[in-house]
């Protein structure tokens, strides 16, 4: 039986108290909002419905320099982030219904690495612009524009960078394959450059780590 709105609100509040359940929040929010991708995109998500492989960051950190997995681990460590994966507490049917919101939450940080945008607000503008260019949904395209519109409040001294990131991210998203439908976790052992080339992510750089970060200094070959 589907959860009521009150039950979903309750589950969201409970999950927000546990860092390991952030992925559950994405599923509950999707169920609550009934957010869906466009019909064209939804039709391509069957390969990732309910897909939630474990990610071992210690193993990723030991991968050779330049691999997608190692760079993803560096990005997460540099920014103090945790992977977003739904737990076994989420019903499989709910995961399948909300593949759009759950999958994007799971790969958002990977998209930072693939596109080369860091976790600053101008970087987030770039990632959201990439998503907008991919045309997942009207809501996500609006979110991309909204991220740029609030840039004067979030990064008033870096508006030029935010605008450049928006233009570059949108163009990259339009050219790239539909990242949302890809099982990116199966490419973590491969060269980041090779993964970008296969996904047609063109124009990316290696700016996803904060300049001069400790992780960058230690992990760089």
User: pTM of the full predicted structure?
Assistant: 0.91
Domain ranges of the chain: 5-219
Tokens (6 digits) for 70: 């190692």
73 and 189 in contact (C-beta within 8 Å)? no
148 and 129 in contact (C-beta within 8 Å)? yes
Query: pLDDT by residue (tens digit) across 39-53?
Result: 999 999 999 998 999
Task: Tell me what the pLDDT averaged over the chain comes to.
Answer: 91
Q: Is the pLDDT of residue 125 over 90?
A: yes
Query: pLDDT by residue (tens digit) across 154-171?
Result: 999 999 999 999 999 999
Contacts of 187 (CB under 8 A, 6+ apart): 68, 195, 198
Q: Is the pLDDT of residue 220 over 80?
A: no
- pLDDT-derived band at 210, boundaries 50, 70, 90: low
Cross-strand partners of 67: 191
Q: What pLDDT is recorded for position 217?
A: 33
């Amino acid at each position: 039986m589907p959860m009521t709105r009150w039950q979903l609100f309750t589950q969201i509040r409970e999950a927000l108290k546990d860092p390991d359940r952030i992925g559950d929040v994405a599923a509950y929010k999707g169920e609550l909002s009934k957010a869906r991708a466009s019909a064209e995109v939804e039709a391509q998500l069957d390969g990732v419905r309910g897909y939630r492989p474990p990610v071992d960051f210690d193993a990723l950190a030991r991968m050779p320099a330049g691999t997608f997995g190692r760079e993803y681990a560096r990005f997460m460590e540099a920014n103090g982030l945790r992977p977003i994966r739904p737990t076994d507490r989420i019903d499989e049917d709910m995961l399948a219904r909300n593949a759009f919101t759950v999958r994007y939450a799971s790969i958002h940080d990977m998209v930072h690495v693939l596109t080369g945008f860091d976790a600053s607000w101008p970087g987030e503008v770039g990632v959201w612009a990439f998503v907008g260019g991919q045309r997942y949904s009207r809501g996500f395209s609006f979110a991309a524009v909204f991220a740029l519109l609030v840039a004067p409040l979030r990064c008033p001294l870096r508006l030029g960078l935010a605008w450049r990131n928006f233009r570059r991210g949108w163009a990259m998203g339009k050219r790239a394959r539909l990242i949302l439908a890809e099982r990116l976790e199966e490419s973590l052992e491969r060269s980041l450059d090779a993964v970008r080339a296969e996904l047609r992510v063109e124009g990316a750089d290696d700016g996803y780590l904060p300049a001069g970060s400790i992780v960058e200094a230690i992990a760089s070959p």
